[in-house]
């Protein structure tokens, strides 16, 4: 055997900080560029999967800085660790939902997503890795704990010395004993979308001269997907997709589809000349923001409306088994579930907690307030799926987004909802704030006419597999149903971010047209008072409001 074909075992020493967070391992690029850092983590993944030899894995990423190098390293490590076949997106690109789709379609053993999602990219930005299991979804907590434990003791990693694979052309090549198949990143995903939605109706809408829309891919991975599906397949005018070429630094944009970071798009959706429909997606394509002319759909409302309008969508009509939402997501979906006569599950933050519910057929739709919506078609949230779902609703109803919202609220009531993020806090001060909130005895106390009826730290027992999770966020619920939730981000890479989730229910249609921050003003004040926010963090106002 030629020397370069022999797997090489390289000694290493552990890094202490390779604990996956809410969604995989995320660190500044400079951390991942340290010698052995990436290799250690990947070896820890292989060491945590005892039966991986001879299997197929999928790999691709959002194209951010370090994506190209990381793919080549992981391919050579997969080969050295005995993986038989690797499916790679052309150019090393795959959106997160496309990885999930490919794993499922090709019955792969699992896959790697290279992304730090909506975190900024570039040489000074973040990089990340998620490992997904055979159902196409994020590794469950039990596995991420095993991987972390393995990373703490890893003493060697395996890698073959081989030239770079050419990922620029679709086709097959061999990396020693491993077959590397470079696949079209879009084809299987686009076929799945076509099987779910009424493409003829959507195409009719997109071609009608009075319907103008924009999809902002934010220079991230959904550009090629959106162009292929919206423009090439469905006939939307060229230029419908903007910022459509994935760039290593996302062109300096912060690829997080929300009113703060997609400000240009939001501006085009306001005023008398507003577009009829606007949408954006994030770095790796799993998030979405939905806008209409002078209308903003909160992700919580989007989940509720998606479920309420399932009868209009071929892939879902007559088969809604249940809805699942993350705990901090508003209760709008619960009201729709009750009306449909199906259960609504409340899970901890992070898509990994939905996998078991989806696998068991208990949930058809899932959603998070953090611009994440999805269904049982894959095991990840899916940005473009949500956009196509909304286009399917609009094509069938031919109603403006604002009317769909207003009619939904008139029927179910409106859950005014907002999230306030306090970023870059001192980690100790933030931990103390949460500790203080946990220890406080708030139940029965009154604040400005509202009395606390529930105060706890959310814990969850998975109804399918019995796995338990605790410490998932402080809930303060009042007698009028209003709610404040506090939790610390698990995706940040520096300091601590406190997320404060605020909501209150309004049943009267005449009171449903208020500005959200004004409607929540009292509750916002309370959220600061109860947590002693200014005293503990020195902050009076949040950095990001969504």
- Count of residues of this chain found to bind ligand G1P when the rule CB under 6 A is applied: 14
Neighbours of 52 (CB within 10 A): 18
Copy the structure tokens of residue 373: 């919506």
To the query of whether residue 117 is one of the catalytic residues in this protein, the response is yes
Query: Is 62 near Zn ion (CB under 5 A)?
Result: no
Query: Is 368 near Zn ion (CB under 5 A)?
Result: no
Between residues 60 and 285, which has the closer beta carbon with respect to ligand G1P? Answer: 285
Residue 298 beta carbon to ligand G1P: minimum distance, rounded to whole angstroms: 14
- Taking residues 351 to 370 in sequence order and writing x for each that binds ligand G1P by CB under 6 A, - otherwise, the string is x----------------x-x
CA nearest to 220, candidates 130, 138, 116? 116
Residue 23 beta carbon to ligand G1P: minimum distance, rounded to whole angstroms: 4
Distance (Å, whole) CA 425 – CA 336? 37
Residue 118 beta carbon to ligand G1P: minimum distance, rounded to whole angstroms: 7
Query: Is 22 near ligand G1P (CB under 6 A)?
Result: yes
Copy the structure tokens of residue 226: 């959106």
* SS3 (DSSP) at 231: helix
Closest residue to bound Zn ion by CB: 117
Between residues 89 and 255, which has the closer beta carbon with respect to ligand G1P? Answer: 255
60 binds, among Zn ion, ligand G1P, none (CB under 5 to 8 A by kind): none
Distance (Å, whole) CA 113 – CA 544? 27
Q: Which residue in the block uniquely carries the two structure tokens 């209409």?
A: 292
- Give the side-chain half-sphere CA count within 13 A for 344: 21
Stretch that binds ligand G1P, among 92-100, 173-181, 273-281, 349-357 (CB under 6 A): 349-357
483 φ, ψ (degrees, to nearest 5): -145, 140
144 binds, among ligand G1P, Zn ion, none (CB under 5 to 8 A by kind): none
Query: Is 349 near ligand G1P (CB under 6 A)?
Result: yes
CB 233 within 8 A of CB 199: yes
Between residues 89 and 138, which has the closer beta carbon with respect to ligand G1P? Answer: 138
Distance (Å, whole) CA 203 – CA 189? 18
284 binds, among ligand G1P, Zn ion, none (CB under 5 to 8 A by kind): Zn ion
Alpha-carbon distances, residue 252 vs 65, 221, 477 (angstroms): 12, 14, 40
* SS3 (DSSP) at 177: coil
97 binds, among ligand G1P, Zn ion, none (CB under 5 to 8 A by kind): none
Query: Is 23 near ligand G1P (CB under 6 A)?
Result: yes
Do the strands 156-160 and 56-61 form a parallel or antiparallel pair, or are they unpaired?
A: unpaired
Query: Is 326 near ligand G1P (CB under 6 A)?
Result: yes
Query: Is 117 near ligand G1P (CB under 6 A)?
Result: yes
Residue 58 beta carbon to Zn ion: minimum distance, rounded to whole angstroms: 17
Between residues 371 and 478, which has the closer beta carbon with respect to ligand G1P? Answer: 371
According to CB under 5 A, which residues from 104 to 133 bind Zn ion? Answer: 117
Stretch that binds Zn ion, among 260-268, 281-289, 484-492, 494-502 (CB under 5 A): 281-289
The DSSP H or E segment spanning 265 is: helix 263-268
Alpha-carbon distances, residue 319 vs 193, 295, 315, 375 (angstroms): 17, 29, 8, 12
Residue 540 beta carbon to ligand G1P: minimum distance, rounded to whole angstroms: 22
Go through the chain and tell me how many residues it has: 546
Query: Is 350 near ligand G1P (CB under 6 A)?
Result: yes
Task: Render 361-406 in DSSP notation, one character per residue.
Answer: TS-SEEEETTTEEEETTSSS--HHHHHHHHHHHHHHH---HHHHHH
Query: Is 375 near ligand G1P (CB under 6 A)?
Result: no
Distance (Å, whole) CA 230 – CA 90? 20
The DSSP H or E segment spanning 504 is: strand 496-506
Residue 381 beta carbon to ligand G1P: minimum distance, rounded to whole angstroms: 7
Residue 545 beta carbon to Zn ion: minimum distance, rounded to whole angstroms: 20
The catalytically annotated residue of 48, 95, 117, 326 is 117
Question: Which residues are known catalytic residues?
Answer: 117
Q: Provide the binding-site residues for Zn ion, judged by CB under 5 A.
A: 117, 282, 284, 286-287
Q: Provide the binding-site residues for ligand G1P, judged by CB under 6 A.
A: 22-23, 117, 326, 349-351, 368, 370, 372, 489-491, 499
């Amino acid at each position: 055997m030629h020397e370069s074909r022999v797997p090489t075992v390289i000694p290493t020493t552990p890094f202490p900080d390779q604990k996956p967070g809410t969604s995989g391992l995320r660190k500044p690029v400079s951390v991942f560029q340290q010698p052995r850092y990436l290799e250690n983590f990947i070896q820890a993944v292989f060491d945590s999967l005892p039966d991986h030899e001879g299997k197929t894995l999928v790999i691709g990423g959002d194209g951010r800085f370090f994506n190209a190098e990381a793919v080549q390293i992981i391919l050579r490590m997969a080969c050295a660790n005995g993986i038989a076949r690797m499916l790679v997106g052309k150019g090393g690109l795959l959106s997160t939902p496309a990885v999930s789709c490919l794993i499922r379609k090709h019955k792969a053993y699992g896959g790697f997503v290279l992304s730090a999602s909506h975190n900024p990219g570039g040489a000074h930005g973040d990089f990340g890795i998620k490992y997904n299991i055979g159902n196409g979804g994020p590794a469950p907590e039990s596995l991420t704990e095993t991987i972390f434990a393995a990373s703490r003791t890893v003493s060697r990693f395996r890698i073959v010395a081989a030239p770079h694979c050419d990922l620029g052309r679709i086709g097959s090549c061999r990396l020693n004993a491993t077959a590397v198949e470079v696949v079209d990143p879009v084809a299987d995903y686009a076929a799945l979308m076509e099987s779910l939605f009424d493409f003829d109706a959507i195409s009719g809408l997109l071609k009608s001269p009075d319907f103008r829309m924009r999809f902002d891919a934010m220079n991230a991975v959904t550009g090629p997907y959106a162009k292929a599906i919206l423009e090439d397949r469905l006939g939307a005018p060229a230029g419908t997709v903007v910022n459509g070429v994935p760039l290593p630094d996302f062109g300096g944009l912060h690829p997080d589809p929300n009113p703060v970071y997609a400000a240009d798009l939001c501006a085009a959706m306001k005023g008398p000349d507003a577009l009829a429909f606007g949408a954006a997606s994030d770095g790796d394509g799993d998030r979405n923001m939905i806008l209409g002319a002078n209308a903003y759909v909160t992700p919580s409302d989007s989940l509720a409306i998606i479920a309420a309008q399932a009868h209009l969508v071929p892939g879902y009509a007559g088969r809604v088994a249940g809805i699942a939402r993350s705990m901090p997501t508003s209760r709008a979906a619960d009201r729709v579930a009750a009306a449909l006569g199906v259960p609504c599950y409340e899970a901890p933050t992070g898509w990994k907690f939905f996998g078991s519910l989806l696998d068991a057929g208990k949930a058809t739709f899932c959603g998070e307030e953090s611009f994440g919506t999805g269904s049982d078609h894959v095991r990840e949230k899916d940005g473009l799926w949500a956009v196509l779902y909304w286009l399917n609703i609009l094509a069938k109803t031919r109603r403006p987004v604002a009317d769909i919202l207003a009619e939904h609220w008139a029927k179910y009531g409106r859950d005014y909802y907002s999230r306030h993020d306090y970023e870059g806090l001192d980690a100790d001060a933030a931990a103390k704030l949460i500790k203080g909130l946990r220890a406080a005895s708030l139940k029965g106390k009154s604040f400005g006419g509202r009395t606390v009826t529930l105060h706890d730290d959310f814990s969850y027992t998975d109804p399918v597999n019995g796995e338990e999770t605790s410490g998932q966020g402080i809930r303060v619920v009042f007698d009028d149903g209003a709610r404040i939730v506090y939790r610390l981000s698990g995706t940040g890479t520096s300091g601590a971010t406190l997320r404060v989730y605020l909501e209150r229910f309004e049943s009267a249609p005449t009171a449903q047209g208020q500005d959200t921050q004004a409607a929540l003003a009292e509750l916002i004040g309370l959220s600061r008072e109860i947590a002693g926010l200014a005293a503990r963090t020195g902050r009076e106002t949040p950095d990001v409001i969504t």
